[in-house]
A and B are shown apart, each in its own frame.
Chain A
């Protein structure tokens, strides 16, 4: 099965992100490109301009590719390093928004096929602006790095931790059964709360907390990455509204109709006029 976002029902309403993703990468055979003799000849005639690429690698603290410069092996290593560089957030080293979106699209596709439960958490540092304003941007950066470390420390290696915005993070937790969701999210929240961030002017600790919103991917149902993010975001909003330093997870996948709603369905005083 391969499909594009264009074929997803309901996308008109939730296409804020990820418009260009075709979540079918898993199905595709790995393509290896073997340069033709002509191409090699052409590259010898017009040498590749790699200075900037090498500078970028050096700046990010990565080693220079091993082997004979210009050889296929060396070029492959260089490309791999650039790919890694372009999928990471420069400040924290976490997955960046680009690779998060790619991973999310894959996970939506996987859940739809396998029916495995998967949880998406979106996290936001509480009162981050206040940290920046009070202690300066360097301290703010230190807080973000500390949060990143705390997040990585509190999840499994298979989970993807990403920085998706200024002080906004996300974690994709594949194969996370629903009863465990709240426990995991709570562990993440507490881990951040307890991690000391020594970023004050004299190295004194700054109190850092996060708010977390979470939603499970609808199992078996073809959904969209954007919709999933939107649902988790709504829960994050609730966590913020309810006082921050809190976890809010969307209620179970099966939709609940409250007795109040039932009553409203038959409440004749509710108004019977169709204004259509």
Chain B
């Protein structure tokens, strides 16, 4: 029995309890920011059922993960360069049939991740929203989890539920948090603190150790974001000077600092 070869790649799952909080926006722009900071990054569209990374990046490739899963195309054909200087592996719309996690889909996804991971410094898994078995499985393949939330009450509740599930069913004790669409500076810290306190009171005591939430960054509500999305451009590419762009770059840099520490 041989041990698996050491992997230099770090796999980060980007997830959110609730949809519409900018998870894919964060994944794509974070990838661009990490690429600027010198990392070789791949974003894998793991929202197999309702992927929209292609829309965010304005990429509509002929060959997608679906073709890889069905064995019609080799994996390399499906890995594309994205506008922000990183690579993407898109799910494509043919993936609706994968919205249930069957053993075959699991094997395929695992195989693809195992194969691409050694070629990149980082693989970002853009998971679906919610706490479905597909999302939980995808997250379980990652080294780290980055939860994207907004200060909205519904987003906060769903983020909390996601963190609780990951702590209880996957033994996660370190979770990264990015607060999107903050209305005032420092709101991200407030959100983190509030989540942390409720976790400490209701989740920590039933586990063998506390769940630690680390704030990776806060991204301000910025009209530039909507503008970029409507132009189908990556924010970091089209409006690099925007406050939200700067915030994403700061988050990427903090992520690397945290990992180096």
Contacts and interface: CB of A to CB of B under 8 A. Distances in A.
Interface of A: 1, 3-4, 6-7, 9-14, 22, 112-115, 218-224, 227, 230-231, 234, 253-255, 257-258, 260-262, 264-266, 270-276
Nearest to B206: A234
Contacts of B106: 112-113, 220
B156 interface: yes
Interface residues of B, number: 44
B73 interface: no
A230 B156 CA distance: 28
Contact of A9 (B153, B170, B208, B209): B170
**8 smallest beta-carbon distances between A and B, as pairs:** A10-B171, A274-B193, A255-B165, A218-B169, A274-B189, A222-B140, A220-B133, A227-B171
Contacts of B140: 9, 221-223
A206 B58 CA distance: 75
B198 interface: yes
Contact of A273 (B131, B168, B193, B208): B193
B131 A222 contact: no
Given A220-B133, A257-B164, A271 B171 contact: no
B239 interface: no
Interface of B: 1, 3-4, 101, 103, 106-107, 110-111, 131, 133, 136-137, 140-143, 153, 156-157, 160-161, 164-165, 168-173, 189-190, 192-195, 197-198, 201-202, 206, 208-209, 215
A26 to B, nearest CB: 13
Is chain B's binding surface mostly helix, strand, loop or mixed? helix
B103 A115 contact: yes
B175 to A, nearest CB: 11
Contacts of B131: 254-255
A132 to B, nearest CB: 29
Looking at B153, B189, B198, the one whose CB has the most chain A CB atoms below 10 A away is B198
19 contacts: A9-B142, A10-B172, A13-B173, A14-B171, A115-B101, A220-B101, A221-B136, A221-B170, A222-B140, A227-B170, A231-B168, A253-B169, A258-B202, A262-B157, A265-B157, A270-B198, A272-B193, A274-B192, A276-B193
A24 to B, nearest CB: 8
Contact of A223 (B171, B206, B209, B215): B171
Nearest to B215: A276
Contact of B103 (A3, A114, A257): A114
Given A22-B1, A265-B198, A274-B192, A222 B171 contact: no
B160 A4 contact: no
Contacts of A112: 106
B141 A264 contact: no
Contacts of A13: 171-173, 208-209
Contact of B198 (A3, A14, A261): A261
Contacts of B137: 220-222
Nearest to B202: A261
Contacts of A257: 157, 160-161, 164
Contacts of B192: 274, 276
Contacts of A264: 197-198, 201-202
Given A271-B193, A271-B197, A274-B190, 9 more contacts: A4-B3, A9-B172, A13-B209, A219-B133, A223-B170, A257-B164, A265-B156, A272-B190, A276-B189
A199 B65 CA distance: 65
A89 to B, nearest CB: 26
Nearest to B7: A7
A100 B193 CA distance: 42
A193 B173 CA distance: 39
Nearest to A230: B208
A60 B190 CA distance: 65
Nearest to A227: B171
